[in-house]
């Protein structure tokens, strides 16, 4: 065997870049958190940042990227089938593990386990990571993923949680989610982008430049808002949190993306879309897991601990998955 020092050095640099990939994002998240902790941002300010991102900044980004992707969004049956199958398999694994040993006898925690098993922080953290790793081309693929999978993503998550809590998904819960999805500005933007591209509607360069400028603010605003919404005071008891959430943290950061990998090998898609899909599956739990868990009557404190645990360990798992996927 011939030892090649250049190859070894390249491998080392790639692994290091994987960690450097998340460090700028971590710095902005901590900045947002400290601005909130020191009173520069109030709770209302963080809410306003999130509202601005959700209603003003992200819709142009998603419209523009899906418009550029065009009808490619409509030609992804494998992505739709694979992602839906991955969600179902992840729910089954999370349910069996939590019922048999992780949360035996604690229905509200079992509900959190299945509900959050694949709920990734795609928008506030996933998009910035993809942009850092792959640039605007990566955002195009991420927009395709969001456009294709959001409905099944939301419905299966809510249905699984309610099935554990009440024995079956409630009709009112499903209808309420469908109503929210129909009014979701991110979904509407993706749909309008596909329609505009399908019918060949031209976008004047002035409006295109305006959307590009608006989209450029997405990463910083998303990370500041994420930092301001995280309760990092929980990190003071992180050992206790990790000891109680280890199973669901493992499911979210390792098992879910691994299942996605396997399913996509059986139902192949393009290399770039494969990388983006698995990476988004490997993101930590979104902050709204806590909000939704509280609203649905689950163990919301445990959900908050799970968000903290997956976000902290995401500093390690995100670079690891980036390296595995050949993104660094």
* C-alpha to C-alpha distances, 282 to 118, 120, 251, 308, nearest whole angstrom: 9, 7, 10, 15
Question: At a CB cut-off of 8 Å and minimum separation 6, what does 189 contact?
Answer: 58, 59, 60, 62, 63, 66
Closest of 195, 187, 225 to residue 53, by C-alpha: 225
Backbone angles phi, psi at 285, to 5 degrees: -65, 145
pLDDT of residue 20: 72
Percentage of residues of the chain with pLDDT beyond 90: 45
pLDDT of residue 97: 96
pLDDT of residue 264: 97
- Write the pLDDT tens digit of every residue in 73-127: 788 999 999 999 999 999 999 999 999 988 988 999 999 999 999 999 998 899 9
Q: Are the C-beta atoms of residues 265 and 274 closer than 8 Å to each other?
A: no
Name which residue leads in pLDDT, 12 or 112: 112
Q: What is the CA radius of gyration of the chain?
A: 20
Closest of 57, 64, 69, 183 to residue 128, by C-alpha: 57
Q: 52 burial class (0-12, 13-18, 19+ CB within 10 angstroms)?
A: middle
Backbone angles phi, psi at 120, to 5 degrees: -90, 155
Token representation of residue 77: 């049956």
The tokens 């080392």 sit on which residue? 12
- Write the pLDDT tens digit of every residue in 219-252: 888 889 888 888 777 667 888 889 999 999 999 9
CA distance 191 to 253: 30
Q: Are the C-beta atoms of residues 155 and 174 closer than 8 Å to each other?
A: yes
pLDDT value at 10 more than 60? no
Q: 209 burial class (0-12, 13-18, 19+ CB within 10 angstroms)?
A: exposed
Label residue 7 by pLDDT band (50, 70, 90).
Answer: very low
Ordered by where they begin, the domains of the chain are 15-324 (1.20.1530.20)
Please give the full DSSP string across 105-117, using - where no structure is assigned. T-HHHHHHHHHHT
Label residue 3 by pLDDT band (50, 70, 90).
Answer: very low
Name which residue leads in pLDDT, 45 or 10: 45
What is the mean predicted confidence (pLDDT) over 201-220? 88
Name which residue leads in pLDDT, 290 or 126: 126
CA distance 20 to 239: 25
Label residue 1 by pLDDT band (50, 70, 90).
Answer: very low
What is the mean predicted confidence (pLDDT) over 36-50? 91
Percentage of residues of the chain with pLDDT beyond 70: 92
The one-character DSSP state at 102 is I
* C-alpha to C-alpha distances, 279 to 63, 288, 289, 320, nearest whole angstrom: 22, 19, 19, 10
In terms of average pLDDT, the best of 27-31, 78-82, 289-293 is 78-82
- Rounded to an integer, what is the distance from CA 169 to the centroid of its chain? 23
pLDDT value at 255 more than 90? yes
Q: How large is the greatest C-alpha to C-alpha distance in the chain, in angstroms?
A: 65
Alpha helices (H) along the chain = 5-37, 43-52, 58-69, 77-97, 107-116, 127-166, 171-182, 185-198, 205-216, 218-229, 238-250, 256-266, 271-281, 288-296, 300-324
What is the mean predicted confidence (pLDDT) over 310-321? 93
pLDDT value at 154 more than 80? yes
What is the mean predicted confidence (pLDDT) over 318-324? 93
pTM: 0.86
pLDDT of residue 262: 97
* Average predicted confidence (pLDDT) for the chain: 87
What is the mean predicted confidence (pLDDT) over 34-46? 92
pLDDT of residue 60: 92
């Amino acid at each position: 065997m011939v030892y090649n020092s250049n190859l070894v050095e390249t491998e080392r640099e790639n692994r290091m870049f994987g960690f450097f990939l998340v460090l700028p994002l971590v710095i902005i998240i901590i900045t947002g958190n400290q601005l909130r902790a020191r009173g520069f941002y109030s709770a209302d300010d963080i809410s306003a940042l999130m509202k601005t991102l959700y209603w003003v900044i992200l819709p142009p980004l998603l419209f523009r990227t899906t418009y550029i992707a065009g009808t490619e969004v409509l030609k992804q049956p494998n992505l739709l089938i694979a992602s839906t199958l991955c969600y179902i398999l992840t729910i089954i694994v999370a349910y069996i593990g939590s019922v048999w040993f992780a949360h035996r006898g604690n229905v509200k925690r079992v509900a959190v386990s299945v509900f959050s098993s694949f709920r990734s922080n795609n928008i506030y953290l996933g998009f910035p990571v993809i942009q850092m790793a792959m640039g605007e081309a990566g955002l195009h693929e991420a927009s395709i993923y969001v456009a294709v999978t959001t409905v099944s993503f939301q419905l299966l998550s809510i249905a699984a949680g309610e099935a554990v809590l009440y024995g079956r998904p409630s009709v009112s819960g499903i209808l309420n989610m469908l109503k929210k999805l129909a009014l979701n500005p991110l979904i509407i933007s993706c749909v309008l982008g596909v329609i505009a591209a399908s019918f060949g509607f031209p976008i004047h360069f002035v409006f295109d430049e305006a959307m590009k400028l608006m989209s450029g603010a997405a990463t910083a605003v998303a990370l500041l808002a994420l930092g301001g919404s995280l309760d990092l005071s929980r990190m003071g008891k992180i050992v206790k949190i990790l000891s109680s959430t280890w199973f669901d943290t493992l499911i979210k950061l390792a098992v879910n993306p691994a299942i996605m990998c396997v399913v996509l090998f059986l139902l192949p898609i393009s290399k770039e879309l494969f990388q983006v899909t698995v990476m988004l599956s490997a993101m930590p739990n979104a902050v709204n897991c806590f909000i939704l868990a509280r609203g649905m009557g689950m163990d919301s404190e445990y959900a908050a601990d799970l968000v903290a645990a997956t976000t902290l360990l995401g500093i390690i798992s995100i670079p690891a998955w980036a390296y595995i996927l050949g993104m660094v």
